[in-house]
């Protein structure tokens, strides 16, 4: 939703989660974790959080996150003219911005986002692509502790559709994840995002990742490496 800042009148975006304190306790814990992650992560390609508020009304808990003004990528792409060289160049530039955010998480923070895909990307009024949706974001080493640790990637794995999970994620082979490249899970997500961006819709199944007709030649080698 859009609103105006009480401080300066600027347009802002408001993301809202509503849950029952008892019935949705696990989902609430994951949402609160996402708020903390977004608050502490500062990077030009990560969504800028301005404020947060949690309201209790009996058992009902409402979490509001106020951010810079953005539009969900899926909605934004409907307004980008199809079939033009400019569209392809613009999409490629946006994808590189998200790849930069993933590299920051992996290389600088040793974090795994865990949910990279079209639903985790928003676009600012200046047409910058930003990564958000950090509810499952976890330290690489904590993932290796498996169910005995507190990695939200593990606690919230049920929230991620199977087509967005690489094999070790689908199997729940948590111990092997820190032994591989720190970017492995999110690289799979980037591959999913590339498919979604050039298809113009979400993935329905893992088999679609093998279809390369929609991928521009300029990106094909990078895509196949993912």
pLDDT at 159: 94
Structure tokens, 127: 């047409």
CA dist 11 and 3 (Å) reads 6
Mean pLDDT of 34-60: 96
pLDDT at 184: 93
Beta partners for residue 55, in sequence order: 62
Q: Which of helix, strand or coil describes residue 165?
A: coil
Write out 34-92 in H/E/C secondary structure: HHHHHHHCCCCCECCEEEEEEEEECCEEEEEEEEECEEEHHHHHCCCCCCCHHHHHHHH
Mean pLDDT score across all residues of the chain? 93
CB 133 within 8 A of CB 122: no
pLDDT at 8: 79
What percent of the chain shows pLDDT beyond 70? 100
pLDDT at 211: 87
What is the residue extent of each domain of the chain? 2-68, 70-225
Tell which wins on pLDDT, 82 or 41. 41
Its sign, for the CA torsion 57, 2, 102, 160, is positive
pLDDT at 212: 85
- pLDDT tens figures, 161-203: 999 999 999 999 999 999 989 999 999 999 999 999 998 888 8
Class of domain 70-225: mainly alpha
CB atoms within 10 A of CB 28: 19
Fold of 2-68: Phosphorylase Kinase; domain 1 (3.30.200)
Structure tokens, 54: 């949690």
- pLDDT tens figures, 104-113: 999 999 999 9
pLDDT at 226 over 80: no
Output the CA–CA distances (angstroms, integers) from residue 203 to 44, 113, 117, 164, 178, in the order listed: 27, 18, 9, 8, 27
pLDDT at 204: 86
- pLDDT tens figures, 1-37: 778 877 777 899 999 999 999 999 999 999 999 999 9
């Amino acid at each position: 939703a859009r609103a105006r800042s009480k401080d300066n009148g600027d347009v802002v975006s408001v993301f809202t989660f509503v849950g029952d304190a008892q019935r949705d306790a696990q989902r609430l814990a994951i949402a609160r974790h996402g708020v903390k992650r977004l608050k502490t992560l500062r990077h030009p390609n990560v969504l800028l959080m301005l404020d947060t508020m949690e309201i209790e009304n009996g058992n009902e808990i409402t979490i509001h996150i106020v951010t810079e003004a953005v539009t969900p990528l899926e909605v934004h792409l409907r307004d980008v003219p199809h079939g033009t060289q400019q569209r392809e160049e613009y999409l490629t530039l946006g994808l590189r911005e998200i790849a930069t955010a993933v590299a920051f998480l992996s290389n600088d923070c040793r974090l795994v986002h865990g949910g990279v895909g079209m639903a985790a990307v928003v676009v600012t009024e200046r047409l910058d692509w930003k990564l958000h949706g950090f509810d499952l974001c976890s330290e690489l080493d904590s993932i290796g502790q498996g169910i005995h640790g507190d990695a939200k990637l593990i606690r919230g794995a049920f929230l991620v559709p199977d087509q967005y999970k690489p094999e070790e994620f689908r199997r729940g082979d948590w111990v092997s994840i820190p032994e591989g490249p720190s970017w492995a899970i999110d690289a799979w997500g980037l591959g999913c995002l590339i498919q979604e961006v050039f298809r113009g819709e979400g993935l329905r199944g893992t088999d679609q990742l093998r279809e390369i007709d929609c991928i521009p030649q300029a990106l094909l080698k990078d895509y196949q490496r993912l």
